[in-house]
Structure 1
Amino acid sequence: MIVTTTQSIDGHKITAYHGIATGETIIGANVFRDVFAGIRDIVGGRSGAYETALAEARLTALAEMQEYATSLGANAVVGVDLDYEVINNMLMVSASGTAVTID
């Protein structure tokens, strides 16, 4: 399945629109990871634990969106948008786009 942030896909014609496809994931922040990330932020450097958690959450949200698009009969998703929110020390990542059929 082609997934893109653009409204069209070069070399392909959109033949049908199936509606909005979404996927969400919420992950909790581990207390120990929070402590070590705080220490790393104080002394400088990147927080590998947070980067890994963020990447995992993003991939899960995109996978759920693709599954939903497939259930709508689509073979691609265009106009994809990713949103990130922190809710009560948990990270929510949502992905949305337009489920389409391309030739």
Structure 2
Amino acid sequence: MIYATTGTIQGREIDTYLGIVFGDAVLGVNVFKDIFASIRDVVGGRSGTYERELASARDTAMTALTAQAQALGADAIIGIDIDYEVLGSNNGMLMVSASGTAVRLKPAGPWTSPGG
């Protein structure tokens, strides 16, 4: 699968637009992680706990996005956009949403390197 935030894949032509695909992940943030992250905020520095949670949610959203594109027979997803939101009455949930357009590319010519 080829991924691009742009509307094209350099050196490749799009054969078929298969539709918009989505991947979402909603994760609850643990109370203990919040406490340790708050301490980190007070003393300064990066919050590795939240960075790991964000990475996990992003990976989950991209995995779901890829699965949906593969189910349509896509070999690339273009125009990828990733959004982050907090949800819940106390902002205790994190949502990561990924979307893009699933496409099938024309076969690469002998002058084009694989994947690009």
Task: Answer whether TM exceeds 0.5 for this pair.
Answer: yes
Larger radius of gyration: 2
Where 2:49 maps in the other structure, the secondary structure is: helix
Aligned structure 1 segments of 4 or more residues deviating by more than 2 angstroms: none
Deviations, residues 1-29 of structure 1 (Å, cap 9, x unaligned) = 00110100011110000000100000100
Cα separation, 1, equivalents of 2:76 and 2:27: 27
Task: Quote the sequence identity (%).
Answer: 55
Tell me how many residue pairs correspond in the alignment.
103
C-alpha distance in structure 2 between counterparts of 1:41 and 1:4, whole Å: 34
Equivalent residue for 1:91, pick from 86, 89, 94: 94
Query: For 1:16-35, what aligned pairs fall within 5 Å after superposition?
Result: 16-35=16-35
What is the Cα deviation at residue 81 of structure 1?
Answer: 0.2
* Alignment-mate amino acid for residue 23 of structure 1: G
Q: Higher strand share goes to which structure?
A: 1
Hey, what does 2:10 align to over in structure 1?
A: 10
Match 1:101 to one of 101, 104, 111: 104
TM-score normalised by the chain length of structure 1: 0.98
CA RMSD in angstroms, aligned pairs only:
0.6
* Structure 1 unmatched runs, 5+: none
